[in-house]
Amino acid sequence: AAVRILKSGMRLPPLPTVRELVKLYQLQALKQLSQNFLMDERITDKIVKSAGRIDTHDIVLEVGPGPGAITRSILRRSPQRLILVEKDHRFLPSLELLKECAKPLDLQVDIHIDDILRFNMEHHIPDTTQRLHLIGNLPFAISTRLIINWFEDLSLRRGAFRRNDTCMTLTFQKEVAERICANLGDKQRCRLSVMSQIWTQPVMKFTIPGKAFVPKPEVDVGVVKLIPLKQPKTDLPFGLVEKVVRHIFNMRQKYCRRGYGTLFPPQDRDDICYELFQRADVEDTLRPFQLSVDECIRLATVYKEFIDANPDIARYDFRAQKNVPTEMLSDEYV
Ligand code: SAM
Residue nearest to atom 6 of ligand 1 (CA): 66
65 close to 22: Cβ distance less than 8 angstroms: no
The reply to whether ligand 1 has any atom less than 6 angstroms from the CB of 22 is no
If you measure from the C-alpha of residue 106 to the centroid of ligand 1, how many angstroms do you get, rounded to a whole number?
A: 26
61 close to 48: Cβ distance less than 8 angstroms: no
17-21, 160-164, 165-169, 263-267: lowest mean pLDDT where? 17-21
DSSP lists the bridge partners of residue 207 as 222
**CB contact set of 90 (below 8 Å; sequence gap of 6+):** 25, 27
**Best CA proximity match to 73, nearest among 116, 37, 40:** 40
If you measure from the C-alpha of residue 116 to the centroid of ligand 1, how many angstroms do you get, rounded to a whole number?
A: 10
Question: Which pLDDT score is estimated for 301?
Answer: 98
The reply to whether ligand 1 has any atom less than 6 angstroms from the CB of 116 is yes
Quote the mean pLDDT of the chain: 91
If you measure from the C-alpha of residue 125 to the centroid of ligand 1, how many angstroms do you get, rounded to a whole number?
A: 21
Between helix 174-181 and helix 191-199 the angle, nearest 10°, is: 60
3-17, 45-59, 109-123: lowest mean pLDDT where? 3-17
CB atoms closer than 10 angstroms to residue 127: 7
If you measure from the C-alpha of residue 256 to the centroid of ligand 1, how many angstroms do you get, rounded to a whole number?
A: 37
**Region 246-272 average pLDDT:** 93
Mutate which of 25, 32, 35, 213 to test ligand 1's pocket (most atoms within 8 Å of Cβ)? 35
The phi and psi torsions of 31 (rounded to 5 degrees) equal -65, -40
The ipTM value here is 0.99
State pLDDT tens for residues 79-91: 999 999 999 999 9
**Region 132-157 average pLDDT:** 95
Check pLDDT > 50 for residue 318.
Answer: yes
**Region 298-311 average pLDDT:** 97
**Best CA proximity match to 194, nearest among 260, 141, 262:** 260
If you measure from the C-alpha of residue 7 to the centroid of ligand 1, how many angstroms do you get, rounded to a whole number?
A: 28
If you measure from the C-alpha of residue 251 to the centroid of ligand 1, how many angstroms do you get, rounded to a whole number?
A: 33
Kindly report the three-state secondary structure assignment for every residue of the chain. Answer: CHHHHHHCCCCCCCCCCHHHHHHHCCCCCCHHHCCCEECCHHHHHHHHHHCCCCCCCCEEEEECCCCCHHHHHHHCCCCCEEEEEECCHHHHHHHHHHHHHHHHHCCEEEEEECCHHHCCHHHHCCCCCCCEEEEECCCHHHHHHHHHHHHHHHHHCCHHHCCCCCEEEEEEEHHHHHHHHCCCCCCCCCHHHHHHHHHEEEEEEEEECHHHEECCCCCCEEEEEEEECCCCCCCCCHHHHHHHHHHHHHHCCCCHHHHHHCCCCCCCHHHHHHHHHHHHCCCCCCCHHHCCHHHHHHHHHHHHHHHHHCHHHHCCCHHHCCCCCHHHHCCCCC
Percent of the chain with pLDDT over 90: 76
Residue nearest to atom 18 of ligand 1 (CA): 64
Compute, in degrees rounded to 10, the torsion defined by CA atoms 181, 183, 186, 192.
50
DSSP lists the bridge partners of residue 141 as none
The reply to whether ligand 1 has any atom less than 6 angstroms from the CB of 28 is no
The reply to whether ligand 1 has any atom less than 6 angstroms from the CB of 137 is yes
The reply to whether ligand 1 has any atom less than 6 angstroms from the CB of 87 is yes
Question: Which pLDDT score is estimated for 33?
Answer: 73
Residue nearest to atom 12 of ligand 1 (CA): 64
If you measure from the C-alpha of residue 12 to the centroid of ligand 1, how many angstroms do you get, rounded to a whole number?
A: 23
CB atoms closer than 10 angstroms to residue 245: 26
Instruction: Using CB atoms within 10 Å of the CB of residue 293, give its burial: 0 to 12 exposed, 13 to 18 middle, 19+ buried.
Output: middle
If you measure from the C-alpha of residue 142 to the centroid of ligand 1, how many angstroms do you get, rounded to a whole number?
A: 10
State pLDDT tens for residues 24-57: 767 777 777 778 899 999 999 999 999 999 999 9
State pLDDT tens for residues 52-72: 999 999 999 999 999 999 999
Question: Which pLDDT score is estimated for 16?
Answer: 77
Question: Which pLDDT score is estimated for 1?
Answer: 36
Check pLDDT > 50 for residue 251.
Answer: yes
Q: How far apart are CA 143 and CA 31, in angstroms?
A: 15
Question: Which pLDDT score is estimated for 326?
Answer: 63
Nearest atom in ligand 1 to 171's CA: 9
Confidence of residue 6 (pLDDT cuts 50, 70, 90): very low
Percent of the chain with pLDDT over 70: 92
102 close to 78: Cβ distance less than 8 angstroms: no
Q: How far apart are CA 325 and CA 259, in angstroms?
A: 12
* Side chain identity at residue 305, one-letter code: E
Nearest atom in ligand 1 to 85's CA: 25
**Region 284-302 average pLDDT:** 97
Question: Which pLDDT score is estimated for 320?
Answer: 80
Check pLDDT > 80 for residue 259.
Answer: yes
Burial 70-84 (b: 16+ CB within 10 A, else e): bbbbbbbbbbbbbbb
**Region 182-194 average pLDDT:** 94
The reply to whether ligand 1 has any atom less than 6 angstroms from the CB of 58 is no
